[in-house]
Chain A
Amino acid sequence: MKPPPFQYAAPTSVAEAVELLGAHADDDARALAGGQSLVPLMNFRLAQPAYLIDLRRIEELTRIRTEGDTLVIGAMVRQSHAEHAPEIAVGAPLLAEALGYVAHPPIRNSGTVGGSIAHADPAAELPAVVLALDAELVLAGLGGTRTVAAADFFTGPFSTAIGSGEILTEVRIPRRAGGHAFVEFARTHGNFALVGVAAVVELDGGTVARASIALSGVAPVPVRATAAEEALTGTVPDDASIRAAVDAAVAGLSPAGDVHGGRETRTDIARSYLRRGIELALSRAGDRR
């Protein structure tokens, strides 16, 4: 199980990287981040890019900074660094919590925040998180940069709005008030989840002022549980209203089954974990009041 041959370059700037990508577009050139999805795929020879552009030497992509109310995370920030970064603990605790569920520490020590989002595995945690948080993804190409809302970014399993010749440079996450929760169900520790739930709920005097909930694992792309968000908003949450919100969200789901869980099982689990996620977010929102 050895990877096929390819050409390799490790540029030091975004400009250089997109130039190389453009120049080798015909060779199926690809960005290489932490390699924790790409290298296994290449070992299986399921991916055979002819040119890899390693982004690891581009300093500016490895920074985390705060711009006003927005947290800006460079695409090449390693998952384990993000997990423990104080800025993220404060600015996006939902992300920090979700990172603890991404694979295992040795994989997070190489895997990057941007790589996970760009890879767009329907079962992955981070895409659901950026969707729940209404984050923006910044893409750089030969023609300059553009910003895509998370809601428009994920276009299918393993496919995104990143155009050929573009790289993801930054994730911009607006700060959100309220209680957060990331919960997921995986069959074994550190493995991909069957269902993940990312939730942020804001209370105003006991009434839900705003709820953002996203699910992974139940559709080809991460999805917002809009029905649940709407059902919760404006209510004083109790068991009945939570159940109603969960039922509303689950009614709209039709997950594809696989060897780890068929459609019905995934739906059952989504029902259970939506409730757990909402309850945890609410309890944390309550704590903050």
Chain B
Amino acid sequence: MTTMDRPDAPPVRTHKENRKWVGQSIRRVEDPKFLRGRGGYIGDMTVPGMLHAAVLRSPHAHARITGIDAAEALAAPGVHAVITGAQAAQLCDPLPDFGPDPAKHTWRCLAVDKVRYVGEGVAVVVADSRYLAEDALALIDVEYEPLPAVVDPERALADGAPLVHDDLGSNCAYERTFDFGDVERDFAEADVIVTDRLRWHRSGGQPLETVGALADFDHATGELTVHTNSLSFTSYLFMVAGTMKIPANKLDIRPVPAGGSFGSKLFATKPAVIAGMCSREVGHPVQYLEDRVDNISNCDHHGSDRVYDVRLAMMRDGTIRGIDIDTVEDYGAYIQFGVGHHGNALAQVVGPYAMTSVRYRVRAAMTNKNQQGAYRGFGSEVNNWMLEQMVDKAARELDLDPVAIRRQNFIREFPHFIPTGNVYDSGDYDGVLDKALELSDYKHWRAEQAKAREEGRCIGIGLITAQERSVFSATEFWFWFDEPGAPVTSMPESVTLKVDATGGITATLYSCAFWGNSPETMVAQLVAEEFDCDPHDVAIVYQGSKNGLPATGPGGSRTTVMLAGAVEGATAKIKAKALRAAAHLLEANPDDMEWVDGGFQVKGVPEQRKSLADIAVMLHLFKHSFPEDMESGLEDSKVFDHPYTTMPSADRKDLGVFYPFMGHACHVPVVEVDLETGSVSFLAYAAVHDCGTLVNPRSLAGHIVGGTAQGIGTALYEEFVYDDDGQLLTSSYLDYLIPSAMEVPELKIGHHETPSPYTLHGIKGGGEGGRMMAPAAINVAVNDALAHLGVRVTELPITPDRLRAAIRAAKSRESG
């Protein structure tokens, strides 16, 4: 064990009882505009004089660009400009990059000397319409000198592989091994070591709306205004200004509602930079919207793509001692977020199990594919899958019951520090499991399974118990290095509350764009809880970056917890002023007053009372009724910093606390496998989640179902497939298969509430849970269905090809 002195945890809170609004499934305040087709998405925006951009994509996985002739395109009807990669490199600096050593794998908005994946942009056309822009793309003549492509991550790391980045000198962008706890001892003392090799292929968020930006560069002021459906990391938007080579205070990035993100619009700066660069060149506002092929092939947000070699140190009685993980991750051609995905994994690497040591080796391979970014789970969903496959395999090898082995290893005392140093704030894993067993009718399905087996049918039950970390912190991006380039520690979120002269409340959000999550509803419910008003009466404003307070934005299931903290802080300031004002007006002692039902009154004397509206009108309009030092108005802000981050140890044997609010879930899919076709269908699906105190249970349920649907895609259907030459074989929705209503079963959803001791109301984040569980659960279910045949699938997605191959192999083993 590390003997790090752990800083104190934040104070344990007592939570308000009898909440009025928090916990209610109110109708979302965002919805009416969307229901009426007035969402105001980026593609819906037009401004006078607006032009349209389209990007020419590379048809090659790896090739040197030896020449570009754009003359004919430039002369085409309606064309205002053609900018090639080489020209763009003069106009803009490289894109913001949090990767290990950006200078060694420089990432730009358009490729310069060579293209590194199919779909990489090589030139952009600006024209009167998107139709004309695409006409002109066809006229650009690019000369390529094809180079051998490297596609498989392990081959990329082998000697002699073609180099994706010559400056890097190899295809390994990062490598390190971490030991947490006494790995050697746990493995030496183990009765059994369970090993496996697992492969998770890449899928992606694929929101139905692509990424887009509308940029307007004003040559008079030197200001660039960009509307975009990508935001987040708002505190880091100065990096975009750097790319654009303009002062940070001349950049305003304004959020518009996003038609889904699932991570894939996180800090998606490329479209904004392309639009901004074009606008500055042509002197008009320019809109650039990815089309679906752009988004599939060039979004910079493919999901995890990992090979695992894992060893699990087990005692014969089922006790899990430690885990040794060796993973190679295929990052594609660039590595904008570094290996943050593995920080996510390390936040909950041991799952709900009380093991004492972890060895974690990670190697990041560069290949000729679109790069990784974020996809709901950000790498921790892959860890959940890996761990649950290992526990499942251990249960089979030791002939233990899959429920019992999990229960036996559950962590039961909180707060609990896992070997990596992260904390699990609270939990009740037995409670969740019990609920799931009941909700899923587990016993019934075990009986059905036995019956079906007699008829030759293969039914499988996939019970998994796994973690759902929430509210990430900045250290995750730099504890990888002994000497990090930018050891930043701030990840705040801000809210301004304004009470107008009529008592109406407006909340201003910074960076928390609408991404399909419900920031408006969450804030409205939280404000209503504080002020005893109707949440539908709370107005919400999204502020652009220029006038914004420090903020980070959605990601890592942080929105609700962080906004709650900010709302609480701003409320406290407003109420303090309102109390003083009310006491003054009532000539009472503030200490004798209390907040009751939307106003301040003298304790026990309801007639001696001022409502918030009474106070607000006085504060706004009757300055001279108050002491000299009281300012007019009733408005205040709170910059709420991450509530629980601690620093990593210098030797990196303890990474500190960086993902403290730990949710948990148990998923129980019941599947049937058609042996003849290798297809998998659902007979039932139950899911119980514990995300702390619920704000809007139906919204959370919606996220669980939606995330599970995406997890079903990851488990069975979705894969960005590159062939051996690096050609992308799934560049349309005919080939990249997103589950429809017929592939997604009805879910039975259960909630369990173990409040966090450290957050307002005990809220934890819960936006990613479904997808963090479903792939693991479905894989376990499929293996459960086929175990008696000796079939075990270790690769996702479980396609007919993969499943049939496994079944055929088992059959030939049997007969051979």
Contacts and interface: CB of A to CB of B under 8 A. Distances in A.
B131 interface: yes
B198 interface: no
A4 B737 CA distance: 27
Contacts, number: 75
A204 interface: no
A265 B134 contact: no
A265 B801 contact: yes
Contacts of A150: none
Contact of B677 (A5, A191, A192, A268): A268
B223 interface: no
Contact of B292 (A1, A187, A260, A272): A1
B742 interface: yes
Interface residues on A, range: 20 to 34
A261 B135 contact: no
B794 to A, nearest CB: 18
B90 interface: no
Contacts of A1: 134, 291-293
A261 B805 CA distance: 11
Contacts of A260: 735, 799-801
Contacts of B805: 264-265
A86 interface: no
A269 interface: yes
A198 B14 CA distance: 68
A7 interface: no
A258 B804 CA distance: 15
A151 to B, nearest CB: 29
Contact of A188 (B730, B743, B808): B743
Contact of B135 (A5, A44, A259): A5
Given A265-B800, A269-B677, A272-B676, A192 B721 contact: no
Interface string A149-189: 00000000000000000000000000000000000010111
B131 A189 contact: no
A187 B678 CA distance: 10
Contact of A259 (B130, B131, B291, B735): B735
Contacts of B676: 268-269, 271-272
Contacts of A259: 721, 729-730, 735
A206 interface: no
A72 B121 CA distance: 51
Interface in B802-816: 804-805, 808
A91 B292 CA distance: 42
Nearest to A267: B804
B740 A264 contact: no
Given A1-B291, A45-B134, A45-B138, A265 B678 contact: yes
A105 interface: no
B739 A188 contact: yes
Nearest to A104: B740
Contacts of B799: 187, 260-261
B737 A261 contact: no
Nearest to A262: B801
A269 B740 CA distance: 22
B734 interface: yes
A4 B76 CA distance: 13
A266 to B, nearest CB: 9
Interface in B719-741: 721, 729-730, 732, 734-735, 737-741
Interface string A1-16: 1111100000000000
Q: Lowest 4 CB-CB distances: which A-B pairs, in order?
A: A272-B676, A189-B742, A1-B291, A2-B131
Interface of B: 130-131, 134-135, 138, 291-293, 674, 676-679, 717, 721, 729-730, 732, 734-735, 737-743, 799-801, 804-805, 808
15 contacts: A2-B131, A45-B134, A188-B742, A189-B740, A189-B741, A190-B740, A190-B742, A191-B734, A191-B737, A194-B800, A260-B735, A260-B800, A262-B801, A265-B678, A272-B676
Interface of A: 1-5, 44-45, 185, 187-192, 194, 258-262, 264-265, 268-269, 271-273
Given A1-B293, A192-B734, A260-B801, 10 more contacts: A1-B291, A45-B134, A187-B737, A188-B740, A191-B734, A260-B735, A260-B800, A261-B800, A264-B804, A268-B678
